[in-house]
Copies of this chain bind each other. A is one copy, B any other.
Amino acid sequence: MSKKKSRYAPTLNDVARESGVSAITVSRCFRHPEKVSDAVRKRVMETVEKLGYVPNSAASALASRRTDVIGLLLPSLNNNVYLDVVSGAFDRAHGTRHAIQIGNHKYSPLEEEKLIRIFLQQNPAGLIVAGGEQTEAATEMLREADCRVVQIMDTDVDPIDLVIGLDHERAAGEAVAGLLARGYERIGFLGARMDTRSQKRLAGYRRVIGDSGGEERIATSPMPSSARLGAQLLADLFARYPDTDAVFTNNDDIALGAYLECQRRAIRMPEDFGIVGFNDMDLLEELNPSLSTVRTDRYRMGHDSVDRLIALADTARPEGAAVLDLGHACMWRGTTREA
């Protein structure tokens, strides 16, 4: 046993010799099992078990010009929203031969373009990109890509193969309309890290407020979301619009901050003030009163996009791109009055 090298790692050839078949037959047992007779496959698989053979993915990738890697490009890893996506993606990939490779571009389109180039160069089995803020070059690469691409989070992006997301503008609009329906009249918007999705939520807020003839009351910050920032934004909003009686927030972190700021100011919820968050993080349902919010199914976005990519792997680009709207659900809970 040398100090280095897992030297006895068996190869395809070892398995083939041991099972009395040719190497390619062993290969087929993994890649195209339907092309091998049951008897042979069983024998080969027993040898595989016995020797502890694990295919060398580098060799496989080199020979077939195709890896089993599904790339998952995200704008952040500091956010529960994306953790849910990751979790769904990994759950679906688990037990398949596919691996998920995460890339984090930190909301930088240039960084994203770089990652897309690197990922595509490795011939992935598929690619999942979050959000539709790519550079032109990146979009072009995705269009030309030799693998299927799933765009997640938003539905209103320029589709390539498949889009799985929701309509943030509509979801926000519905939440704000729900506040109006519940008798709140002077509704504000709190938002942090105003990326495109946040912009869309703001647009939904504006549309509904505009339609209702109400006044826009907006407090935003380019900083990343946090509860602390949420409290500051609400304080800011109150400073400018003291009679605000409800807020719709960009996400649940901000909502929690606003919620706690209300508690500090002894503002009664839902009687005198309403809050609606966005995303439905588990924790916040437990508060008293519990937080009203808009539920989005991030787990399923991750899960289903991997599911579709596995199904679509090795297929040609479909004629028309499909858009899967997973929708949303307004969860009216304790921080808003009854309708």
Give the contacts of A118-152 with B (CB-CB under 8 A).
Answer: 118, 120-123, 144-146
Report chain B residues within 8 Å CB of A80.
80, 83
Provide the bound-state CA to CA distance between A257 and B101, in Å: 34
Q: A28 — which chain B residues lie within 8 A by C-beta?
A: none
The answer on a CB contact under 8 Å between B264 and A122 is: no
Copies assembled: 2
Q: In chain B, what residue has the closest Cβ to A87? A: B77
**Residues of B contacting A316 with CB < 8 Å?**
3-4
A58–B125 Cα distance when bound, in Å, is: 14
Shortest distance from the beta carbon of A161 to any chain B beta carbon, whole Å: 12
Binary contact track A316-335/B, C-beta < 8 Å → 1, others 0: 11000000000000000000
For A144, the chain B residues whose CB sits under 8 A away are 1, 6
Q: Which residue of B lies closest to A264 (CB)?
A: B288
Which of A104, A120, A286 has the most chain B CB atoms closer than 10 A to its own CB?
A286
Q: Interface digits, A238-265 against B, CB 8 Å rule (1 contact, 0 not)?
A: 0000000000000001001100100110
Which listed segment binds B: A187-195, A203-211, A224-232, A303-311?
A: A224-232
Cβ of A90 and Cβ of B102 under 8 Å apart? Answer: yes
Q: A5 contacts the other chain (Cβ, under 8 Å)?
A: yes
Closest to A252 in B: B283
- A1-15 interface code vs B (CB 8 A; 1 in, 0 out): 101111001000000
Does A21 sit within 8 A of B, measured CB to CB?
Answer: no
Determine if B287 and A260 form an interchain contact, defined as CB atoms under 8 angstroms apart: yes
**Is the Cβ of A121 less than 8 Å from the Cβ of B54?**
yes
Size class of the A contact interface (CB-based, 8 Å) = 35 or more
In the complex, chain A residues 267-318 whose Cβ is within 8 Å of any chain B Cβ: 282-283, 286-288, 316-317
Q: Does A339 contact B (CB under 8 A)?
A: no
* A122 adjacent to B256 (CB under 8 Å): no
What is the CA–CA distance of A231 and B123 in the complex, to the nearest angstrom? Answer: 48
Query: A86 at the A/B interface (Cβ < 8 Å)?
Result: yes
Contact assessment for B62 and A59 in the assembled complex, using a CB-CB cutoff below 8 Å: yes
For residue A29, CB closer than 8 A to chain B, the reply is no
Residues in B neighbouring A9, C-beta threshold 8 A: 121
**B283 in contact with A227 (CB, 8 Å):** yes
Expressed in whole angstroms, the minimum distance between the Cβ of A55 and any Cβ of chain B is 8
Give 25 A-B contacts (CB < 8 Å), ordered by A residue. A3-B317, A4-B316, A5-B146, A6-B121, A6-B145, A55-B121, A56-B62, A58-B67, A62-B62, A77-B86, A77-B87, A80-B80, A80-B83, A83-B83, A90-B102, A90-B104, A99-B101, A227-B286, A228-B286, A231-B286, A256-B283, A260-B286, A263-B288, A264-B288, A283-B283
Taking Cβ atoms with an 8 Å cutoff, the residues of A that contact B are: 1, 3-6, 9, 52, 54-62, 65, 67, 77-78, 80, 83, 86-87, 90, 94, 99-102, 104, 117-118, 120-123, 144-146, 226-228, 231, 253, 256-257, 260, 263-264, 282-283, 286-288, 316-317
